[in-house]
Amino acid sequence: MDTSLDYSTSMNVYVQSLQDKQLIENVYKNNDLPAPTYLDDIIVQPIVSKNISPAGLGAINNLIIINKYLNSDLNNLARYIINLQTQKEVLESEVEYQSDLIDIEQLERRVELLKQRLGEQLKGQQGAVEAAP
Task: Tell me the per-residue pLDDT of 38-49, one tens digit each, with 9 for 90 and over.
Answer: 777 888 788 887
Domain count, the chain: 1
Q: pTM here?
A: 0.82
| Residue (of 97, 129, 90, 132) closest to 113 by Cα position | 90
Q: Which domain holds residue 112?
A: 2-131
Q: How far is CA 50 from CA 21, 43, 45, in A?
A: 48, 10, 9
pLDDT band at 75 (very low <50, low <70, confident <90, very high): confident
For the chain, give the number of residues: 133
pLDDT band at 73 (very low <50, low <70, confident <90, very high): confident
